[in-house]
Chains A and B, each alone.
Chain A
Amino acid sequence: EDQVTQSPEALRLQEGESSSLNCSYTVSGLRGLFWYRQDPGKGPEFLFTLYSAGEEKEKERLKATLTKKESFLHITAPKPEDSATYLCAVQAFRGYGGSQGNLIFGKGTKLSVKP
C-alpha cells in the first residue's frame, strides 16, 4: 500500500534557526513527489515537484531534496511568515497509460517560527 509519513508532526523554531522536515514514502512506481504549504483554513499552495532521486529544487529560504525513500524540505534562516503546515504528497503510476493522477498525502508538519 502506498504510504507517506512526515516527521516531526510539529516543529518550533526561532527566527533564523535553520532546520529540516522529513517525508518518508513507500510507493510502487513513483511518478513525482510534491511539497505544499498550507495556512489555516486555506487551500494547499504548491511549492515543488521532484521526479527523480538526487533532484533538488530551491525557492527563497526553502530547498527540497529527494532520495529513493525520502524527501527533505530544508528551511534556511526561517522568518515568522514561514509558519504554516507543510504537506508532502506522492503521485504513483496508476491506471491505463498512467491516466490516474491523484496524490497521496502525509499528515503534514506544523511549523511555527517565533521572532
Chain B
Amino acid sequence: DSGVTQTPKHLITATGQRVTLRCSPRSGDLSVYWYQQSLDQGLQFLIQYYNGEERAKGNILERFSAQQFPDLHSELNLSSLELGDSALYFCASSVGTGSYNEQFFGPGTRLTVL
C-alpha cells in the first residue's frame, strides 16, 4: 500500500458524459501528478500540481482539467468523453518536485467509455 488513495476504482459511462476522478496523496506530500495508461501508449503524464498550483502540463486534452484543493487532494475532470478516453488513470504523489522526491502511485481508476 503506497498511501495514495484514488476513487472510484472503476467507472463506466457513456460517450459525451463528464466524470470526476479523485486522489488523496500520501500524508505530507505536496505534489500530485496525474498519468493515463492505455494499452498502446503506456503511461503518459497529464498534469502536475504542487501545493495547489499547476506546475507542469503534459499531453492533456483541452476536455480534461484538474485542480488541487487546500487539503491537497486533487480531482481530474474529464468531459465530452470519447471511446478513446477509456484507460487506467493513475495519481502519484511526492513530497516536493526536486531531486530525491520519489513518486508513489495510487491503485488507479479504470475508466470505460461505452
Q: Interface of A with B (CB < 8 Å)?
A: 31-32, 34, 36, 41-46, 49, 51, 87, 89, 94-95, 98-108
Contacts and interface: CB of A to CB of B under 8 A. Distances in A.
Contacts of A104: 45
Interface in B81-114: 88, 90, 94, 96-108, 110
19 contacts: A31-B99, A32-B100, A36-B105, A41-B88, A42-B108, A43-B90, A43-B105, A43-B106, A43-B108, A44-B90, A46-B102, A89-B43, A95-B55, A99-B50, A101-B33, A101-B94, A102-B58, A104-B45, A105-B35
Contacts of A46: 2, 102-105
B43 A87 contact: yes
The secondary structure that dominates the B interface is strand
A64 B90 CA distance: 25
A49 B103 CA distance: 10
